[in-house]
Amino acid sequence: MSDPIVNFLSKYIELTNEEIDILSNQNLIQSYKKGTILLSEGQIAKECYFIMQGCVSSYYLVDGEVKITEFFTESQPITPVSYTTKKPSEYYLECLEDCIISIGTPESSTELMKKLPRLAALGSNIMEDQLAHQRMKYDDFIKLSPEDRYINLQKTSPDLLNRVPQYLIASYLGIKPESLSRVRKRLYKKSKS
């Protein structure tokens, strides 16, 4: 039961051994070196991903500046907007660490859903969860100060803060690296007083 995909799905359904077998045999697993670009701006995404191990960032290049919008880590699915819309991607996906990733294509997904009808029925539940998550993320960005967003990140993804360079964390929070240093100093002082 240590397969990240099985772990992910077990939030929604108790898989039978047969289903686990089908899942494990179906998957196309790939290794990528740190720095690999999985998707570039302008490219149409033909694959979706599920991270078995490692960390992937999504970002825009705006006038040469990197604007991080998400970090994905173990047991997280990545469905590029371009995979859904079939239009050229506006953003990049890049491996921030060496990664092991399970790859999905429209064909392999259709195939898998035929073999695992119980899973197909779950599709909209999983989407619904992801949609709620994405809404909350947007809302947090609107309603929280950068300091509160940092505190949030500490709570929800403490490991990220050690895995990812600070300037990328700053970009994700929508602030300059200098401001992030100030936020961290302020919080450190608070925790000591």
Phi and psi torsions of 50, nearest 5°: -135, 120
Interface segment toward a second copy; rule CB under 8 A; list 85-93, 95-103, 161-169, 177-185: 85-93
Among residues 84, 154, 156, 166, the one that binds a second copy under rule CB under 8 A = 84
Residue 44 touches a second copy, criterion: CB under 8 A: no
Candidates 18, 21, 90, 159: give the one binding a second copy (CB under 8 A).
90
DSSP state, 43? P
Give me 73's structure tokens: 């880590």
Task: Check binding of 111 to a second copy (CB under 8 A).
Answer: no
The CA-based dihedral angle spanning residues 98, 159, 173, 144, taken in that order and rounded to the nearest 10 degrees: 150
Report the residue number, 32 or 92, with the smaller CB distance to a second copy. 92
40 makes contact with a second copy (CB under 8 A):
no
Which backbone phi and psi does 70 adopt, to 5 degrees? Answer: -165, 150
Q: Binders of a second copy: how many residues, by CB under 8 A?
A: 29
Query: From residue 128 to residue 147, what is the string marking binding to a second copy with x (rule CB under 8 A)?
Result: xxxxx-xxxxxx-xxx----
Which residues in this chain contact a second copy in the complex, by CB under 8 A? 60, 62, 67, 69, 79, 81, 84-85, 90-91, 123-124, 126-132, 134-139, 141-143, 174
